[in-house]
Amino acid sequence: MIDTRKEIERHLSAPRGLNVSGISHAANMLTMQFGSLRQVTNFKGAVKQVGEWALHIQCNWQVERTGEIIATQNALSGTDEEAHRAAEQLDELLVKHGLTIVEDVLANESGGVILSMSEGLRVTITPAGIPDEEDWRFFAPAFDAQHFVIEGGKIDPYSFS
């Protein structure tokens, strides 16, 4: 039997000690980059900057600093302009303000994660637990490698194939 908490912590140990190097969004999905940025060309031929690791969050999340909530998934739920502005504000806080380093990762059996970072910051991810709906994924974007995916609050079995 798979120990969900241990598998999540094992996979998400990769960005421990790395900086948050980019924050963006695609519709209402928060995207986070970790580690050194590099250029890649996507399937549409567009060149973009990606980190060594990426975390794409499509479920409930919040960013806190010393217990104060700074942003939640609702920040990306408005118009495109509002979502873009919210992502820029998070990028300013986590990337441009200075190095924000991932210090620790805690997970639970429901696919939830807490990324503890420097400066008293943390990102809490809370899956909705809806079957067949992706909650979040973690992967190395510069390589055609397997993605670690939480869907419906559980590890997607394809994460191990």
DSSP secondary structure of 136-159: EEEE-TTTT-PPEEEETTEE-GGG
Q: How far is Cα 9 from Cα 109, in angstroms, rounded to an integer?
A: 11
For residue 46, what pLDDT is reported?
87
Q: Does residue 93 contact residue 87 with C-beta atoms inside 8 Å?
A: no
Predicted confidence (pLDDT) per residue in 120-136, tens digit: 999 999 999 999 999 99
CB 111 within 8 A of CB 153: yes
pLDDT, one tens digit per residue, over 84-106 is 999 999 999 999 988 999 999 99
- pLDDT reported for residue 105: 98
Domain tally, the chain: 1
- Amino acid occupying residue 99: L
Q: How many angstroms separate the CA atoms of 128 and 133, rounded?
A: 9
Q: What is the per-residue pLDDT for 2?
A: 84
Containing structural domain, residue 154: 4-160
Q: What is the mean pLDDT of each run of 10 residues along the chain (161 residues)?
A: 92 97 95 94 86 97 96 94 95 92 98 97 96 96 88 91 62
pLDDT computed for residue 161 by the predictor: 62
Residue type, 100: T
Helices (H), the chain: 4-11, 80-91
CA distance 123 to 82: 20
